[in-house]
A = this chain, B = another copy of it.
Amino acid sequence: MNVSQEQVSLTGHPNLFNRRIATDKPVDQMYQRTFRLDLDKTSRALYVVGTVLKVNLNRSAPPSSTYFSVKCSPNVQYRITPPPAKSGPIPTPFNGNTVLLLTMDTASEVENDSKLSVMFYGKKKEVLGKAVVHLTAFEISLDVDADRDGQVERNNPNKGSWMWGPNGHGAILLVNCDSEHTCRKSLDSEHAEVTRVSDLKDMSPMVLRTSGPAKLPEGYKLTMHISQGDAECVRVFRTRSTAGMHQTLSLRFPDKDFEGLISINLSMLEPSSQGFPETPIFTDKVVFRVAPWIMTPNTLDPVEVFVCSTTDNEQFLKRMRRLVENSGCKLKICPEDMNRGDRWMQDEIEFGYIDSPHQRFPVVLDSPRDGHLQDFPYDVLLGQDFGYVTRTAYGKEVSSLDSFGNLEVSPPVTVNGKNYPLGRIIIGVAFPTATKGRNMTKVVQDFLWAQKVQEPIALFSDWLLVGHVDEFMTFVPAPDKKGFRLLLASPDASYKLFRGLQNDGHGQAKMFDGLGAEEITVDKILSDEKLKAENNYVQSCIDWNRDVLKRELGLDDDDIIDLPILFHVIENRAVAYYPDMVNMIVLGKNLGIPKPFGPKVDGRCALEAEMTSLMGGLGLSCTYIDDFASYHKLLGEVHCGSNVRREPFSFKWWNLEM
């Protein structure tokens, strides 16, 4: 229904103007739109509540205009700048660049229900012209959950920007990397349409709120738009059931060329006469940040443990099952027809998760290693609320350092006053001075660095034949200090223990007792000068990493425990001499440790005794698992052959201070 000019009463009430309206912003900071008056004909205008129409009166005035007067409907407020003198003449004389600022408090009920009228007068106060504008006010806002409470609030003043921290703001978008499609599996982000309702909760709601007349005035259009670059990163779906309800998802994780911020704009377009393009008169904007992929350290509670079943590891699986069940979590066994003999469950995948105020789920990062386990993460793990992401090293050589035994994460730390409440990612690379070292592939490194919330540390792992950081380090929970200890393999600690045995008269005690041809006495080990030289070199490599870890994680020596482990060198690179106890699985207070087969004193393995004593001091319980034939001889151990999905952090990544 249109309201004719006569139905609208006209009064001037400039004083109402100074109160703050809709957006709660002072007028100076409100979205201002230059608005033009048409003389001698009645025009129409659409007004968006919370904006200011700014009319340059001089520009619209007929030639020789000296005075003007303004009238409007009761629900229209205006202010004149520079303000006319209170006791000045009526009508008001022009004064330089006279500007009329106009706002309305509430949406119109019907089209054209408000009115502005401006009269222009000459020197003798004769009328020179008159501009009449019929106004229709709409409330329009594109809304998101900018305060991160899981609800889409109305017109959050911070919705157009993104700030880290507990006092920060800005909405969050998940990569829709899970699969609601179970029969013919595929990533949801590869679908152009939302086909299942369950998919909706992975998406971030975005609400287009409008109030005012049921229809926009003829020719006006509301349109949503994003930049060219963002268009490759995001999809927006309209929900059929509820008006104005949209669902948004990201198609990709942050990476080297994508910071993770996405803007979505909403513009009101005004029709032009004569077939010219429409012109925008109002734009609203919301900003999302794509949730990063987050890794989970050993200090988080385990949920599921994954291992492979092979022709030769029945006993290993038995021991693992007992340990896992005692730890209150589930053992998931990848069968032979899926693993095709590839037992290195640690190396093919890394478990992480993505989190937002409205949804959270695990996401597996698939290594470019691509051994025979390569189909497992996509075919088995990917599913509803279980995401999948990978990086492919197109055309680049993949090395052993690309296996995810070479990708770990520390517990939360504080370093020189800087907090890392989600810990720091740890990878192993060649020492940068090496001219022909092996490295983790650049695409994976770029991905890890781009997640930002667990700033990575690069250690030196290329000195190892297999080259994984999990061969010389791990973290275990602790009741004191920083809440954890860093465990490091230490040949020095091993030599010290062996020398102690020798001193105490156990020089003839045998390592690898019961393993047949492998047996060797403590005396023999201690007299092997080549082995000693190799372990001196190994210790210097580990010490370099120890110093880096102390610096980068803010650790003291008291935060580190040296475990007695020997290495030997093959092809100029190191492998564990006996089962590498640091390569353990950590399930809460239960540790599953490769059985070291150390020299026995009074029928008890001296290495186990030392390990159990060191860990016992932290309230941790050690289970020694025989992995000698089925893992150790193949250059891996318990950790290499397993993987743990853990509970996410209770700390929310968006509360990080960056």
Binding site for B on A (CB under 8 A): 29, 31-36, 54, 56, 59-64, 97, 99, 223, 225-229, 256-257, 265, 267, 269-270, 272-281, 416, 431-434, 439, 442, 460, 463, 490, 492-493, 496, 499-500, 502-504, 530, 533-534, 536-537, 539-541, 543-544, 546-547, 550-551, 557-558, 562, 569, 572
Contacts and interface: CB of A to CB of B under 8 A. Distances in A.
Contacts of A62: 499, 503
Given A60-B492, A228-B439, A557-B54, A265 B432 contact: yes
A270 B490 contact: no
Contact of A551 (B32, B500, B533, B541): B32
Contact of A33 (B99, B228, B533, B547): B547
Contact of A267 (B227, B228, B433): B433
A501 to B, nearest CB: 8
Given A59-B493, A59-B496, A439-B228, A572 B277 contact: yes
A270 B547 contact: no
B433 A225 contact: yes
A551 to B, nearest CB: 7
With most chain B CB atoms within 10 A of its CB, the pick from A256, A433, A442, A541 is A433
A489 to B, nearest CB: 13
Contact of A257 (B64, B257, B503, B569): B257
A540 B36 contact: yes
Contacts of A551: 31-32
A431 B280 contact: yes
Given A32-B551, A276-B572, A280-B544, 10 more contacts: A34-B543, A35-B543, A63-B500, A63-B503, A99-B557, A225-B432, A226-B432, A273-B536, A276-B569, A277-B431
A272 B256 CA distance: 37
B557 A276 contact: no
Contacts of A269: 433
Given A276-B537, A503-B63, A537-B274, A36 B543 contact: yes
Given A63-B499, A63-B503, A496-B59, A280 B97 contact: no
A537 B416 CA distance: 59
A577 to B, nearest CB: 16
Ordered nearest first, which 8 A-B pairs have the shortest CB separation?
A: A63-B500, A34-B543, A276-B537, A63-B503, A279-B540, A225-B432, A59-B492, A225-B433
A499 B62 CA distance: 8
Nearest to A96: B558
Given A34-B543, A499-B62, A273 B557 contact: no
Nearest to A38: B536
A464 to B, nearest CB: 12
A59 to B, nearest CB: 5
A496 B363 CA distance: 65
Nearest to A61: B496
B546 A34 contact: yes
12 contacts: A32-B551, A35-B543, A36-B492, A36-B539, A63-B499, A64-B500, A225-B433, A228-B439, A273-B536, A275-B572, A276-B534, A277-B463
A26 to B, nearest CB: 12
